[in-house]
């Protein structure tokens, strides 16, 4: 097995990584949210390699990453709401689902044949430099096996994907730590498809009411009506027990805040001893991975306040705790 090349980004490295993308190879790169696994979005073989590396179902479309809003507008049709959001919140952790432009020449698998496309302009300087160097739209899911915990460090990418990825641009921990907010703008009603660091309040302040589907957790097996909303996702190997009021001796504890339980638990980590939700978001995936220890029976998670980015943390934790495909008949 050939280990991927882990490289510190520099101007010359970004030029080379851009050439690799244009040559149809996969490059993992940091964004402010999580690490992505990039391929030229117009190259069907390269896009197929992403689905193969992740073990991702073909009905689950990919986000197209662009260097700027102009490039994104060559891939998707922007209406006034999309233009306002792009101008105010890009670059940043927000993905917009919009009608696709057929003339953009995206590989059909990128959109799973939906007629819509998810576009995002990331803020991380390495992601931005790579997108400029590549000069093409870059399809990039999170750089982990499908259904698993997203990577927030280059080491997570190597652990998840190993030799399936040729090059990893290694730039330390991701600042946000949770995947981008996804907003659907394909009809008159804006719909929140995935909560993230850009909150409902941020969006509503700019474009008015946004629908927040209560039943955002769909069946684990069904092809999702809003793709990506698979019930079981972001899951470690161990079962996850939410809103724990105590911790058993055989469990690992994912604590939050200054009042972490003092007794019990074979292993323990605190998302944010000071109770800061942004710090908790940035730590969530690395701590879920670190506690995913076969010597424990489950990961017990203390309650996380359900406001601001806490809504996104709780969304990911609910999916981590949902019944797994392999456990259902």
Residue 193, both tokens: 């498809």
Among 42, 43, 95, 160, binds ligand TXA (CB under 6 A): 95
Among 17, 18, 28, 31, which residue sits at the site for ligand TXA (rule: CB under 6 A)? 31
Place of tokens 């690395």: 286
Sheet of strand 252-255: strand arrangement:
240-241, 299-301, 252-255, 267-270
**The two structure tokens encoding residue 49:** 């390699």
Nearer to ligand TXA, 117 or 169 (CB): 117
CB under 5 to 8 A by kind: which of ligand TXA, Mg ion, none does 217 bind?
A: none
Q: CB nearer to ligand TXA: give 122 or 154.
A: 122
Binding mask 106-145 for ligand TXA (x = CB under 6 A): -----x--x-xxx-x-x-----------------xxx---
Cβ atoms of residues 264 and 246 within 8 Å: yes
Q: How many residues lie near Mg ion (CB under 5 A)?
A: 1
Contact call for residue 94 and ligand TXA (CB under 6 A): no
Distance linking the first and last C-alpha atoms of the chain: 35
By CB under 6 A, tell whether 154 contacts ligand TXA. no
CA distance linking residue 284 with residue 183, whole number of Å: 22
Nearer to ligand TXA, 32 or 251 (CB): 32
Q: Which of 21, 34, 216, 312 binds ligand TXA (CB under 6 A)?
A: 34
Please report the DSSP string for 23-84 in residue order. TT--EEE--SSS-EEEEETT-HHHHHHHHHHHT--TTS--EEE-SSHHHHHTTB---HHHHH
Burial of residue 212 (number of CB atoms within 10 Å: 0-12, 13-18, 19+): middle
Q: Contact region for ligand TXA (CB under 6 A) — 12-20, 76-84, 161-169, 220-228? A: 220-228
Size of the site for ligand TXA (CB under 6 A): 27
DSSP 100: B
Are 207 and 266 within 8 A, CB to CB? no
Q: Decide the pairing of beta strands 36-40 and 138-139.
A: antiparallel
We find the least distance from the C-beta atom of residue 13 to Mg ion, in angstroms, to be 25
Q: How many CB atoms lie within 10 A of CB 194?
A: 21
What does 42 interact with, of Mg ion, ligand TXA, none (CB < 5 to 8 A by kind)? none
With CB atoms as reference, the residue minimizing the distance to ligand TXA is 228
Given 62, 220, 317, 320, the residue binding ligand TXA (CB under 6 A): 62
Q: Is residue 142 a contact point for Mg ion (CB under 5 A)?
A: yes
Among 75, 164, 193, 296, which residue interacts with ligand TXA (rule: CB under 6 A)?
193
- Answer yes or no: are the C-beta atoms of 224 and 218 closer than 8 Å: yes
Toward Mg ion, which CB reaches closer, 55 or 209?
A: 55
Can the peptide bond before residue 91 be classed as cis, meaning omega within 30 degrees of 0? yes
The region of 17-25, 33-41, 76-84, 259-267 touching ligand TXA under the rule CB under 6 A is: 33-41
Among the listed residues 180, 199, 270, 314, the single contact to ligand TXA using CB under 6 A: 180
Which tokens go with 273? 């001893």
**Which residues form the interface with Mg ion (CB under 5 A)?**
142
**Which residues form the interface with ligand TXA (CB under 6 A)?**
31, 33-34, 36, 60-63, 95, 97, 111, 114, 116-118, 120, 122, 140-142, 179-180, 182, 193, 226-228
């Amino acid at each position: 097995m050939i280990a991927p090349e882990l490289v510190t980004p520099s101007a010359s490295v970004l030029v080379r990584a851009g050439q690799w993308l244009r040559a149809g190879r996969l490059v993992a790169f940091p964004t402010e949210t999580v690490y992505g696994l990039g391929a030229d979005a117009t190259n069907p073989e390269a896009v197929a390699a992403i689905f193969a590396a992740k073990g991702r179902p073909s009905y689950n479309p990919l986000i197209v990453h662009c260097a700027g809003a102009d490039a994104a507008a060559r891939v998707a049709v922007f209406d006034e709401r999309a233009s306002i959001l792009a101008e105010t919140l890009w670059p940043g952790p927000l993905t917009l689902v919009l009608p696709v432009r057929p003339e953009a020449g995206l590989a059909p698998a990128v959109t799973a044949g939906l007629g819509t496309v998810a576009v995002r302009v990331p803020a991380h300087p390495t992601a931005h430099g790579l997108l400029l160097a590549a000069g093409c739209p870059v399809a990039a899911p999170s750089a982990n096996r499908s259904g698993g915990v997203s990577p927030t460090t280059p080491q997570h990418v190597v652990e998840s994907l190993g030799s399936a990825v040729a090059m990893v641009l290694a730039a330390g921990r991701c600042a946000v730590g949770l995947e981008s907010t996804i907003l659907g703008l394909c009809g008159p009603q804006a719909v929140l498809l995935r909560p993230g660091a850009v909150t409902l309040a941020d969006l509503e302040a700019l474009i008015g009411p946004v629908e927040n589907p209560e039943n955002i957790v769909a069946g684990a097996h069904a092809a999702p009506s809003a793709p990506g909303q698979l019930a079981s996702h972001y899951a470690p190997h161990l079962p996850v027990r939410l809103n724990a009021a105590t911790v058993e001796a055989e469990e690992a504890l994912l604590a939050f805040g200054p009042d972490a339980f003092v007794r019990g638990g074979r292993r323990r980590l605190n998302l944010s001893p000071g109770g800061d939700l942004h710090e908790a978001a940035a730590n969530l995936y690395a701590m879920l991975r670190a506690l995913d220890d076969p010597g424990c029976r489950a990961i017990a998670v203390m309650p996380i306040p359900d406001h601001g980015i806490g809504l996104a943390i709780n969304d990911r934790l609910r999916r981590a705790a949902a019944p797994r495909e392999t456990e259902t008949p």
